[in-house]
Structure 1
Amino acid sequence: MRLTVHTWGTGERTALLVHGMMADHRTWRRVGPALAERGYRVAAVDLRGHGTSPRQPGPEGARRYRLDDMAADLADSCPSGAELALGHSLGALVLQRAIDLGLDVGRAVFSDPAWRTQPHDLGPARAYRNATPAQIRAANPRWEDAAVADESACLALWDPDTVTALDPPPGLPAAEAVPSLVLLADPSERVPPVQQQALLTRGFSLRRVTGAGHNIHRDDFPAFMDALAGWV
């Protein structure tokens, strides 16, 4: 499946951005231009079931979305040989799988990846599809107004059945396939301390962004960019 791809910049280096569940390329409103200023041509996808990319055909409520399919989409839709790839939450899972499938990237950054190892209730995620701007603001008090508006627009286009891609829980990757940095919320609900230690033993570099929630890049954009020092 070919994905919608949005770009910033015209640099000789390429950076790929892969959004999380419920979002689309608009989540990178500030990150994309910031990387373009650093000399990258930035490509941000809308994953299947998100933004203006196609939906997976099939009956409503069925298991229509799988991580391997999403990863194949990414490998088919993005330029090969990117120097940097950055994935958030679900996007981190998709990016990791795409690299395992042969997506050629120089280094990867996984922002608060949804590498859960235990089942959890996905019902609240589905219900968030109907969140009002006021509810989005209440849930994310540190976001700028533009981010709240973006989230509302993203939800209007999101297919809630994409949550089936997280069932069963994906677990931790066995090893880093390319040099990899894991950025973590503080605290991180998705990668708790025991799992953080496991990632360190498997070769991943870890950094925490103090006080940031799951959407690190929207909770504290300056701290997010600072945490990427040496990787962008």
Structure 2
Amino acid sequence: MESPELITVDAGPVGLGARSWKAGSGRPVLLVHGLSSNARLWDGVGSHLAATGHPVVAVDLRGHGTSAPVSDTNDEDDLDAPAVDATQAAARDLANVCASLGWRDPVVAGQSWGGNVVLQLAADRPDLVHGLALVDGGWLHLGDQFPTLDDAWGVLAPPRFDGMTADRLRGMLTSGHPGWEPWAIDATLANLREDDDGLVSPWLSRERHRAIVGSMLRHQPRKLYPLVRCPVLLLAAVSEQGPGRKGELLAEAAAGLAHAEVVEFRGGDHDLHAQYPERVADLIGGLA
């Protein structure tokens, strides 16, 4: 794989760490990771897209990966200022990233929560987004499942890594994802920092993680579907046990979006971009 250049992109109020493949004159592609993930999970997709002539940037959202944590309020000097909604703030950051890069009509892809973020971007800025790829996300409606944040957090809180070493976690990831290439395992490990003793802890703070879950609880993609004008691909990992609730949400999204196509990955992992980078890249490239 072609290695990306590590850059910092001006996103308005914050600078975001990013991975950049400066390729040919094809339509640019912006890649957005999910909750508590990082831009390196897109390396396989980014490399394949660059090989076909597309300039590609994969960003680390606020508080993730190489991007610094930022204040949880709109005013750092006012502790009583209203909290920033994480999903809407991330969408605004992406619009600023495109402006900083000089991109006017990119294809934008987001995975999991990142799908919800890029859907918000496409709804807010229909003039900006040429095509949208929602990778096992973008149709997430946590508010349908959980009445309160405490209820959601009780199910969705991330595991604690007390005493976990990087070597042990690598072994667990390799066993759990036998079909993944080594780079994808390394990229997943990059969700966490490693201290001098080899112990790991998440880059994303637990407090910010909870705040994002709260934002997802409030976020209602179905209200945004009518506002999205560009072609949309819904890439879904589908269980062999049947579609269940995901199938219902996919069908709702496909019906609510004006130009949508569903592509199913039977037995696929939630991180489809790490598991099937070439296929995902080909599908994203098809939107260009």
The TM-score by the shorter chain falls in which range? 0.7 to 0.9
**TM-score, normalising length from structure 1?**
0.85
1:38 aligns with 2:52: yes
Q: Which residue of 1 aligns with 2:117?
A: 94
Q: 1:73 to 1:193 in 2, by over 3 A?
A: same
Contact 1:88 1:112 survives alignment (8 Å)? yes
Distance 1:54 1:186 in 2: 34
Q: Which residue of 2 aligns with 1:109?
A: 133
Q: Which residue of 2 aligns with 1:171?
A: 220
Contact 2:23 2:51 survives alignment (8 Å)? no
Deviations 1:75-102 (A, max 9, x none): 1123332331111111111111122232
Aligned pair count? 229
Aligned residue identity for 1:179: P
Q: How far 1:226 moved relative to its partner? A: 5.0
Q: How far 1:149 moved relative to its partner? A: 1.7
Identity of aligned residues (%): 24
Q: Which residue of 2 aligns with 1:208?
A: 264
Q: Secondary structure, in 3 states, of the residue corresponding to 2:30?
A: strand
Equivalence map 1:78-89=2 (5 Å): 78=98, 79=101, 80-89=103-112
1:127 aligns with 2:159: yes
Contact 1:3 1:46 survives alignment (8 Å)? yes
Q: Which residue of 1 aligns with 2:41?
A: 27
1:158 aligns with 2:172: no
1:72 aligns with 2:128: no
Q: Which residue of 2 aligns with 1:148?
A: 185
Q: Secondary structure, in 3 states, of the residue corresponding to 2:18?
A: strand
- Structure 1: segments with no counterpart, 5+ residues: none
Q: Which residue of 1 aligns with 2:18?
A: 5
Q: 1:189 to 1:216 in 2, by over 3 A?
A: farther
Contact 1:3 1:74 survives alignment (8 Å)? no
Q: Secondary structure, in 3 states, of the residue corresponding to 1:209?
A: strand
Distance 1:181 1:9 in 2: 24
Aligned residue identity for 2:205: D
Q: Computing the radius of gyration over CA atoms, which structure comes out larger, 1 or 2?
A: 2
Distance 1:208 1:47 in 2: 27
Q: 1:24 to 1:97 in 2, by over 3 A?
A: same
Q: How far 1:133 moved relative to its partner? A: 1.8
Q: Secondary structure, in 3 states, of the residue corresponding to 2:20?
A: strand
Q: Which residue of 1 aligns with 2:233?
A: 181
Of residues 191-200 and 168-177 in structure 1, the stretch that sits farther from structure 2 once superposed is 168-177
Deviations 1:26-47 (A, max 9, x none): 0111111110111111011110
Distance 1:190 1:39 in 2: 39
1:196 aligns with 2:233: no
Contact 1:88 1:113 survives alignment (8 Å)? yes
1:49 aligns with 2:96: no
- Structure 2: segments with no counterpart, 5+ residues: 1-13, 74-82, 194-202
Distance 1:137 1:104 in 2: 39
Q: How far 1:3 moved relative to its partner? A: 1.5
1:118 aligns with 2:125: no
Q: Secondary structure, in 3 states, of the residue corresponding to 1:184?
A: strand
Distance 2:113 2:244 in 1: 11
- The equivalent position to 2:275 in structure 1, one of 209, 213, 219, is 219
Q: Secondary structure, in 3 states, of the residue corresponding to 1:86?
A: strand
In angstroms, what is the RMSD of aligned CA positions? 2.8
